[in-house]
A and B are shown apart, each in its own frame.
Chain A
Amino acid sequence: MTTTSLGEPNGVAIAWFLGFVAITLGITWWAARRTRTANDFFAAGGNVSAVQNGFALAGDYMSAASFLGIAGLVSKSGFDGLIYSVGWLVGWPVITFLIAEPLRNLGKYTFADAVAFRLRQRPVRIAAAGSTLAVVTIYLIAQMVGAGGLIHLLFGLPYKAAITLVGAVMLLYVLFGGMIATTWVQIIKAGLLLVGATLLAVLVLSKFGWNPLELFAEARRQYGDGVLAPGDLVAQPLEVVSLGIALMFGTAGLPHILMRFYTVPDAQTARRSVAYATSLIGFFYLVTFVLGFGASVLVGRDAIKSVDKGYNMAAPLLAEVLGGTGFLGFISAVAFATILAVVAGLTLSGAAALAHDLWGHVIRRGEITEREQLRVARAATIGLALLAIVLGIVFQGQNVAFMVGLAFAIAASANFPALLLSMMWRRFTTRGAVASMVTGTVSSLLLITLSPTVWKDLLGNPEAVIPLKNPGIITVPLAFVVAIVVSLIWPEPEAAQGFTDAHDRMHLGAS
């Protein structure tokens, strides 16, 4: 293939995209009339079903980075992409087994509700809001910069215009429709993404007698044995293990994912919804692997690379080869919708940390009217949307790929240990929680600053201070040790007494 219409205005893509925006804005209008209380705004009134939340969780999680990025990585290096796919998935069972049910019973809008349940509210809320905002901001930067670049490649829209468009549409969803609109945006996006990716995979497999093995064999014929074997990614095993720890436990600490468990009526529904999400996401990564191999064989590595050095356009190019400009347009629009949905979920969880944890519990000490809570939540949403647009523009052209790993590292070390210990360990204390969350956040930020990615590549120093690209292998154990040691040195009898109450509520339910 020598020519592609990628990057030129594509009528089908624009039609699909406008259709998606029109439908989701219609839903937002409908949702806005149902958003009367803070519970509606943050938790969709707690009325979301297991299947709906399963799709919405998958929609929140399956980013354009995993769709275009992993398909691209597989098309470029074959097997190595699978290491990422597996890593992105294995955190989900951990959420089911350890987190989802007690979290649902213990909290209201944010994961800090669960951590602070029997501890002193203000210090815990401040620390949890800090780590939440760190995760949300860094994840938003990665998404926005990726969005600007991808939309430019897909539609030919200038970078800044793309960023502003994403920020503006996302703002409308969250500001007016709150969690109800965000949930439906996630569901529609997850549906479109799964349908698009599956159709594409079906078209690929139809060329290989419906047998993935023939596809792999063809890739091996074209690119040699190496395409099926581990390559450069695992040059340093410790690196892969460290990233693996961050991915596995970070998923169970992502604030926008944890927040979704409050949208369902009870713990049983929360449990079933993660099961649906895990199946959908697992299926999606298997499909993505097929797409990557399909692109390398049917489009060719050179053709993919000539369009984008990062190989991010592998899946759209594959769609064009197999289904023409129309299918390319559909897949491009799906990628755009994916970006919109993920940033909406992130923004809403940041707004909850600001309005519910910081304003509601720290400044107002829990004495706050519905009206004021909603007003502050909406102001926070506007602030975060503007921040996302500004950061997207500031970081234009920077290599932000490491930021997703950093967001997971903070979530794994700042949020996961404190959350798990608050649910399981009677002697866990306020000081232990705060020390653990602060240590997790600060040590992740510090170590990534001293890492090869930032210290050497970004800041231009000759040698990195810490040889690890992802700090998970150090920061996650460190956060656990700090939490336990501090709790043992300074016991908190009130917190231990409160555990019985928390224990009943966690397992028997709130009512």
Chain B
Amino acid sequence: MSEPSRDELRRLVGRRWRIGAVLTAVMMIAYFGFIFVVAFAKPTAGELVAGGRVSLGIVIGASVIVLAPVLTAIYVRWANRHYDPAVKALREKGAP
């Protein structure tokens, strides 16, 4: 593999790890945020909303469950649209 292509691959891979790390961090913050609310702010988690029919804790927990596939979909969309074509171009330029 030529030096310019290698630099380009490094930049591309660096971008993928950064996006992966940011999305992982978002998932962790959401999840541990939920746990901290449940553990350290019990009254907040138990607070009733929607006319007393549901608690804030249930709303937050269900949102974290929904967030997981949403973040995954965001990543897959980015990777399919930007990452894969760039990798393909690099492979065609000079596959190792």
- Contact A278 to B32, CB < 8 A, known contacts A213-B53, A228-B54, A229-B46: no
Task: Count A-B contacts at CB 8 Å.
Answer: 156
The one of B23, B32, B87 that contacts A508, using a Cβ cutoff of 8 Å: B87
Taking the closest CB of chain A, its distance from the CB of B49, in whole angstroms, is 10
Once the chains are docked, how many angstroms separate the CA of A272 from the CA of B24? 17
B90→A94 contact, CB < 8 A:
no
Main secondary structure of the interface of B (DSSP, over half): helix
A79 in contact with B57 (CB, 8 Å): yes
Whether the Cβ atoms of B61 and A86 lie closer than 8 Å is yes
Q: Are A268 and B80 in contact (CB under 8 A)?
A: yes
Given A97-B24, A228-B46, A507-B9: A92 touches B53 (CB 8 Å cut-off): no
Q: Is B65 touching A286 in the complex (CB atoms < 8 A)? A: yes
1/0 per residue, CB under 8 A from B, across A282-293: the answer is: 100110010000
Does A459 sit at the interface, judged by CB under 8 A?
no
A293: min CB distance to chain B, Å: 10
Those of B40-85 within 8 Å (CB) of chain A? 40, 42, 45-46, 48, 50, 52-55, 57-58, 61-62, 64-66, 68-69, 71-73, 75-76, 79-80, 84
Q: Pick the contact of A82 from B40, B58, B73, B90 — CB < 8 Å?
A: B58
Contact between chains at A94 and B45 (CB < 8 Å): no
User: Residues of A contacting B90 with CB < 8 Å?
Assistant: 508
Nearest to B65 among chain A residues (CB) is A282
Q: How large is the interface on B (under 10, 10 to 19, 20 to 34, 35 or more residues)?
A: 35 or more
Could you tell me if A216 and B54 are in contact, using CB atoms closer than 8 angstroms?
yes
Query: Is A93 a contact of B71 with CB atoms below 8 Å?
Result: yes
C-alpha spacing A73/B71, complex, angstroms: 28
Q: Which residues of B contact A217 (CB under 8 A)?
A: 52-54
User: Which residue of chain B lies nearest to A280 when distances are taken between CB atoms in the complex?
Assistant: B69
The prevalent SS among residues of A at the interface is helix
Chain B residues positioned under 8 Å from A504 (CB to CB) = 1, 9, 96
B19 contacts across to A, CB distance below 8 A = 97
Which of B20, B42, B65 touches A86 (beta carbons < 8 Å)? B65
Closest Cβ neighbor of A216 among chain B residues:
B54
Alpha-carbon distance between A96 and B80 when the two chains are bound, in angstroms: 13
B38 touches A90 (CB 8 A): no
Interface residues of B in 1-22 (CB under 8 A from A): 1, 9, 12-13, 16-17, 19-21
Binds B, one of A172-180, A236-244, A317-325: A236-244
> Bound state CA distance, A214 and B45, in angstroms?
19
The reply to whether A229 and B64 contact each other, CB–CB distance below 8 Å, is no
Task: Tell me if A509 counts as interface (CB < 8 A to partner B).
Answer: yes
Which of B24, B42, B50, B69 interacts with A282 by CB under 8 Å?
Answer: B69
User: Beyond A82-B61, A83-B61, A93-B71, is A229–B42 a contact (Cβ under 8 Å)?
Assistant: yes
B12 contacts across to A, CB distance below 8 A = 507
A125 within 8 A of B: no
Contact with A98, one of B20, B52, B65 (Cβ below 8 angstroms) = B20
Q: State whether the Cβ of A34 lies closer than 8 Å to any Cβ in chain B.
A: no
- Tell me how many residues of A have a C-beta within 8 Å of chain B: 51
Q: Check A225 against B48 for contact (C-beta < 8 Å).
A: yes
Q: Is the CB of A278 within 8 A of B62?
A: no
A289 to B76, CA, bound (A): 27
Q: Flag if B39 contacts A237 (CB, 8 Å).
A: yes
| Cβ-defined contact, B42 with A234, below 8 A | yes
Docked-complex contact A89 and B65, CB < 8 angstroms: yes
CB within 8 Å for A86 and B23 given contacts A214-B53, A228-B48, A240-B38: no
Q: Which B residues are CB-close (under 8 A) to A90?
A: 27-28, 30-31, 64, 68
Smallest Cβ distance from B35 to chain A, in angstroms?
Answer: 5
Contacts A93-B23, A97-B20, A241-B32 given: A216-B61 contact, CB under 8 Å? no
C-alpha gap A398/B15 in the complex (Å): 49
- In A166-192, the 8 Å CB interface with B consists of none
Inter-subunit contact A79/B55 (CB<8 Å)? yes
Q: In the complex where A271-B76, A278-B68 touch, is A86 in contact with B91 (Cβ < 8 A)?
A: no
Q: Which residues of A contact B16 (CB under 8 A)?
A: 507
| Inter-subunit contact B79/A271 (CB<8 Å) | yes
Q: Is the CB of B64 within 8 A of A86?
A: yes
Tell me the smallest distance from the CB of B85 to a CB of chain A, in Å. 11
Assuming the contacts A424-B17, A508-B90, asked whether A230 and B42 have C-beta atoms less than 8 A apart, the reply is: yes
**B45: nearest residue on chain A (CB-CB)?**
A230
Residues of A within 8 A of B68 (CB): 89-90, 92-93, 278, 282
Give the complex CA separation of A92 and B72 in angstroms. 9
Which of A230, A271, A272, A285 sits near B38, CB closer than 8 Å? A230
Within 8 A of B (CB), among A85-120: 85-87, 89-90, 92-94, 96-98, 101
Tell me which of B1, B13, B24, B39 contacts A94 (CB under 8 A).
B24
Of the A-B pairs whose beta carbons lie under 8 Å apart in the complex, a sample of 16, sorted by A's number, is A85-B65, A86-B64, A89-B68, A90-B30, A97-B20, A98-B20, A98-B21, A213-B50, A213-B53, A214-B53, A225-B46, A268-B79, A271-B75, A507-B87, A508-B9, A508-B95
The 10 closest A-B pairs by CB, nearest first: A229-B46, A237-B39, A97-B20, A228-B55, A217-B53, A213-B53, A82-B61, A279-B69, A90-B31, A504-B96
